[in-house]
Amino acid sequence: MPSTTELSPIWHPSPNFGERRDGLTPSLIVIHYTAMGSAQAALERLCDPKAEVSAHYLIGNDGTLWQMVREEHRAWHAGAGEWDGKDDINSRSIGIELDNTGSHPFSEPQMTTLEALLPRIIKNWSITASGVIGHSDMAPGRKSDPGPHFDWQRLERQALAKPRGPDIASASPSPGEFRAAARRAGFTAPVDDVELLAAVRLRFRPWASGSLETADMKVLAPPDTVT
């Protein structure tokens, strides 16, 4: 894995950015996939003024790292959504795009670069592991990235993402109990029960299907509180 001091992003400025609103500074890192055919195609779109989208960083399938917006500025990557009761996620976050269509695993060089980049951003802005989220976490029902192939547990093992409780299935909880647990974990976007369950599973249990079960609640709890 490259060290944080070895990271030298290729500066490829995007015109699509602004000032963070209301004096906000980053407290979140939002991970996306590009859903495009190549990193070059994604880079062109993220820097196209007509597209009106951008991100702070793009990581290619081969591990190449580009920076398009300076971290102190507000990139246009998150759109409408909410996390932990807060909106305007663009003003509160750093956006990282990963060159991936969403239909296949993320490459080892790409994950290695991401694992080197995250600690640097976390240190720069004093972001907690719980502040590293997916686009689908803050926009359930509207977005699905970084999708079921993204290895969240790999990041969790390095304290680079919120840890989950144990995946233990038993009797089904009520939708109200599940929604309350999800809200405590940060999933506060106003969506219906089906979309909420799908978003939690995308993050923690992408292999799961069927109706709500206790395992869906267990993964939302800090490991040391689950019995």
Orientation of helix 193-204 relative to helix 175-185, angle to 10°? 50
Q: Are 137 and 195 in contact, with CB atoms under 8 Å apart?
A: no
Task: Name every residue whose Cβ is closer than 8 Å to that of residue 105 and which is 6 or more positions away in sequence.
Answer: 149, 151
Strands 28-33 and 93-98, bridge-based pairing: parallel
The yes-or-no answer on residue 97 being catalytic is yes
Q: Which residue has the tokens 């940060």?
A: 186
Whole-angstrom distance, CA of residue 196 vs CA of residue 6: 39
Which helix (H) or strand (E) segment holds residue 119: the answer is helix 108-125
SS3 80: coil
Strand order of the sheet with strand 132-134? 10-11, 65-67, 57-59, 93-98, 28-33, 132-134
Q: Residue 128: exposed, middle, or buried by beta-carbon count in 10 A (0-12, 13-18, 19+)?
A: exposed
Catalytic residue among 97, 115, 177, 195: 97
Whole-angstrom distance, CA of residue 223 vs CA of residue 99: 32
Q: Name the residues annotated as catalytic.
A: 97
